[in-house]
Amino acid sequence: MRQDPPFDMNYITLTHLLERLHPQTLVVNPPAAVRNAPEKILVTDFPQLMPPTLVTRDRTMIHEFRKEHGNIIVKPLYGNGGAGVFFIQEGDHNLVSLLELFEQNYREPFMIQKYLPDVRKGDKRIIIIDGEPVAGLNRIPADGEARSNMHVGGRPEISELTAREREICATIAPALKERDMIFVGIDVIGDYLTEINVTSPTGIREIKRFGGPDIAVLIWDAVEKRVR
């Protein structure tokens, strides 16, 4: 079960249809688990690992959050590839206009997070196979860009996992295994977990291209283990 977002009613419908294949056919990742784990909401199960975060449409709460944290990131809950992600600096007068734009284009709440300066060092995609971290791909933002997604010019490079990143992976592993998630990609900036991607994790081709492991083989090994 892997396709690019949007995570919309078509996607949800496909999860319901694919559920009908069990138990005769193994579906990876499990459709019900994918449906119940939209990445920007699933991560809120681990508040101790996240940067300060707010999910709301309430302008007053957003303004209070900004007053407390200064520079913030505003993004849609179901975006992908960096689309619709805005960096609003302290003192920037465009926040109200941006919220008006979001209110017109999105029915669901928005995600607001404290800006993490460590993003200039990279936003690391860590691939987790069957609960175990196997490789990290750091994505460095282009000059003049707050986003690090490869879709918008982020420069990928293989990166060893730090002790903190392994701690994050170990903390979330039981929840992933409980949901029988075989193929997952998480995003880490500095010491913080920002997303858990289960719908369409990307990065495995780049990891192989830059000398990392062939993760496709590891995925199929995990699939075959379940079939057996």
Report which DSSP code applies to 130.
T
What ranges make up the beta strands (E) of the chain?
A: 53-56, 72-76, 86-88, 110-114, 123-129, 132-140, 155-158, 183-189, 192-197
Catalytic residue numbers? 40, 75, 125, 139, 147, 187, 195, 197
Q: What is the pLDDT of residue 83?
A: 77
Over the chain (228 residues), the average pLDDT of each successive run of 10 is 77 92 88 88 94 96 97 89 86 94 94 94 95 94 71 79 97 96 95 92 91 95 91
CA distance 99 to 77: 14
Residue 195 has which token pair? Answer: 């997303």
Give pLDDT tens digits for 124-150.
Answer: 999 999 999 999 999 888 777 766 666
Domains in the chain, start-ordered, CATH in brackets? 52-115 (3.30.1490.20), 118-227 (3.30.470.20)
